[in-house]
């Protein structure tokens, strides 16, 4: 990756992180940890890889991004607002009555959200359906789907994984946000996913494992996945929950936190 692009994506990831912190801050509490950990991969996809058009969110051949760990809605909202999918004023309304930005992703409320999510385990099934449909229709779309490491304890993840592997869905790229924490503790202590790569390999996936905060590594992994024919892809993103928010990074209790106004203003340096 050339330096100009790397600098651009690095700065963009910082900016949308701050936007997400502010979005949650306006409500006062929210899922900060899992929003921060996916932000670098989301930035690479939305600002470098995906075939999308914010002016035409439903265009037929668009790439789809499914946030199956739907509680990371604020991460999606930060990116979608920055890209111009919806009015910036909405970003102060997270989770409030009548909002178009519910805490969990809702495809009927927010332009640019391709699938409603929040009940963990379901988004990957929808993504597999979209990938299958795209194959049948001759639609060139790539389907990206983010799942959480805790979410992978859901049986439905493995039903969807089995079908994607068997059908060789090379238009499907699943990204595991392996931040090692779930709602109330360490994933390894509760119901370990290890060895994640071997598991997805056994289901017939093309697997890669990268530092989920290394923009170049994420970019290369997505390119490799897209070049792979006849196999669905799993990219294990080794991430840190809360990454890039100094008040919460890596804390065991950073899943959902209260973020008072003075805290988000200090963190983002936004006082206007």
* Angle between helix 261-268 and helix 3-27 axes, rounded to 10 deg: 170
Can the peptide bond before residue 195 be classed as cis, meaning omega within 30 degrees of 0?
yes
d(CA 241, CA 154): 20
> To the nearest whole angstrom, how small is the minimum distance from the Cβ of residue 207 to ligand TPP?
19
- Interface residues with Mg ion (CB under 5 A)? 148-150, 179, 181
- Number of residues located near ligand TPP, criterion CB under 6 A: 20
Q: Does 151 bind ligand TPP (CB under 6 A)?
A: yes
Query: Among residues 20, 41, 181, 196, which is the contact residue for ligand TPP, using CB under 6 A?
Result: 181
d(CA 37, CA 54): 24
d(CA 105, CA 124): 14
Q: Does 132 bind ligand TPP (CB under 6 A)?
A: no
Tell me whether residue 123 or residue 141 sits nearer to ligand TPP (CB atom): 123
d(CA 214, CA 40): 7
d(CA 105, CA 198): 30
Query: Among residues 25, 30, 34, 242, which is the contact residue for ligand TPP, using CB under 6 A?
Result: 34
Binds 219: which of ligand TPP, Mg ion, none (CB < 5-8 Å by kind):
none
Q: Does 191 bind ligand TPP (CB under 6 A)?
A: no
Residue 241's region, left for phi above 0, alpha for psi from -120 to 50, else beta, is beta
> To the nearest whole angstrom, how small is the minimum distance from the Cβ of residue 187 to Mg ion?
6
Pairing label, strands 29-30, 257-258: antiparallel
Mask of contacts with ligand TPP, 51-90, x by CB under 6 A? Answer: ------------------x-x-------------------
Q: Which chain residues interact with ligand TPP by CB under 6 A?
A: 33-34, 37, 69, 71, 118-121, 148-151, 177, 179, 181-183, 241, 255
């Amino acid at each position: 990756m050339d330096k100009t692009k790397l600098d651009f994506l690095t700065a963009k990831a910082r900016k949308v992180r701050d936007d997400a912190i502010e979005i949650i801050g306006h409500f006062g509490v929210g899922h900060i940890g899992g929003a921060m950990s996916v932000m670098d991969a989301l930035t690479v996809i939305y600002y470098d890889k995906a075939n999308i058009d914010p002016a035409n969110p439903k265009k037929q051949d668009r790439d789809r991004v499914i946030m199956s760990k739907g509680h990371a809605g604020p991460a999606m909202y930060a990116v979608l607002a920055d890209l111009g999918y919806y009015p910036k004023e909405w970003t102060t309304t997270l989770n409030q009555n009548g909002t178009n930005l519910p805490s969990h992703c809702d495809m009927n409320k927010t332009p640019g959200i391709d699938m409603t999510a929040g009940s963990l385990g379901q988004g990957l099934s929808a993504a597999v359906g979209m990938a299958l449909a795209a194959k049948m229709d001759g639609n060139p779309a790539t389907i990206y789907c983010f799942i959480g490491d805790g979410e992978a304890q859901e049986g439905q993840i493995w039903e969807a994984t089995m079908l994607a592997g068997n059908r060789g869905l090379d238009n499907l790229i699943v990204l595991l946000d392996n931040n090692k924490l779930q709602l109330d503790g360490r994933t390894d202590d509760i119901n370990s996913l290890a060895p994640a790569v071997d598991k997805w390999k056994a289901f017939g996936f093309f697997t890669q494992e990268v530092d989920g905060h290394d923009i170049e590594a994420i970019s290369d992994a997505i390119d490799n996945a897209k070049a792979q024919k006849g196999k669905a892809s799993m990219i294990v993103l080794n991430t840190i929950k809360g990454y890039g928010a100094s008040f919460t990074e890596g804390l065991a209790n950073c899943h959902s936190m209260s973020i008072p106004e003075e805290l988000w203003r200090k963190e983002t340096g936004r006082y206007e």
